[in-house]
């Protein structure tokens, strides 16, 4: 992995703390907008302490109202998803913070430049990719309602990141993903071990305190229940019966 003090070949600096410090306290300069995104998503350069990196800034003011998520909460859900990924050791979500920016408070996340040589359509169908399977478990924990193929970010060193976690943590079961290839399959031992750690952290630990900053009491309780159920049954979940199982468009 490259040095987290500067943008490396993968676009991911090495050293979580340095990346978070830069994202939270660096000077944010907007360089463009990702026009395909449904909410205001700005491509930026963040600089501070002699370091700089590319990042994504999603101001709360630019969030499109949704019928099934409270207004103004999507940026916080992205930060909460990073907290779960970090606590579990999955490192699926790039370093993410909440900060003030040119258009007010918003989510700021390290930009990941994916490996252009990876066929994302083929990757999304694989059953032998450990990082992809970890992502499927992560999505079940956070109740991701929008895991599209375009949200997969494989980097040249083989690691797999994911982005766009603003519609996660609903109380109702809303899992909507392109990663259903393990539905009903027994969870790997490594996943069970991670879920046990999450269960403890959600009961009384740093993760519980962090999620309480961004989620409602009911949403935090539902997250605990999802982890408990995954540990009880030890299988990947099945698609919901009363909710579209695959996002549209899937890419």
Domain segments of the chain as ranges: 16-110, 120-233
> How many whole angstroms separate alpha carbon 162 and alpha carbon 159?
10
pLDDT in the model for residue 111: 97
pTM: 0.93
pLDDT in the model for residue 35: 83
* Burial zone of 194 (CB within 10 Å; 0-12 exposed, 13-18 middle, 19+ buried): buried
**Is the Cβ–Cβ distance between 140 and 230 less than 8 Å?**
yes
What ranges make up the beta strands (E) of the chain?
27-33, 42-48, 51-59, 96-101, 104-110, 152-154, 160-162
pLDDT in the model for residue 14: 54
**What is the average pLDDT across 163-180?**
98
User: Which band of pLDDT confidence, cut at 50, 70 and 90, is reported for residue 15?
Assistant: confident
Q: Is a pLDDT exceeding 60 seen at residue 3?
A: no
């Amino acid at each position: 992995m490259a040095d987290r003090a500067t943008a490396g070949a993968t676009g991911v600096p090495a050293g979580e703390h340095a990346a978070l410090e830069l994202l939270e306290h660096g000077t944010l300069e907007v360089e463009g907008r990702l026009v395909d995104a449904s909410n205001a998503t700005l491509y930026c350069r963040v600089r501070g302490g002699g370091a700089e990196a590319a990042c994504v800034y999603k101001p709360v003011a630019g969030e499109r109202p949704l019928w099934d998520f409270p207004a103004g909460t999507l940026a916080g859900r992205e930060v909460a998803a990073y907290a779960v990924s970090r606590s579990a050791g999955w490192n699926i979500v790039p370093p993410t913070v909440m900060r003030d920016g040119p258009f007010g408070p918003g989510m700021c996340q390290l930009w990941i430049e994916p490996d252009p040589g990876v066929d994302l359509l083929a990757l999304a169908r694989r059953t032998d990719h450990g990082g992809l399977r970890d992502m499927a478990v992560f999505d079940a924990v956070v109740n991701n309602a929008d895991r599209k193929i375009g949200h997969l970010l494989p980097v040249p060193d083989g690691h797999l990141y994911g982005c766009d976690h603003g519609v996660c943590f609903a109380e109702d079961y809303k899992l909507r993903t392109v990663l259903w290839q393990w539905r009903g399959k027994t969870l790997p031992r490594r996943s069970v071990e991670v879920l046990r750690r999450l269960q403890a952290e959600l009961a009384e630990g740093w993760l519980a305190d962090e999620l309480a900053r961004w989620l409602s009491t009911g949403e935090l309780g539902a997250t605990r229940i999802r982890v408990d159920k995954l540990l009880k049954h030890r299988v990947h979940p099945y698609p919901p019966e009363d909710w579209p199982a695959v996002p549209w468009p899937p890419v």
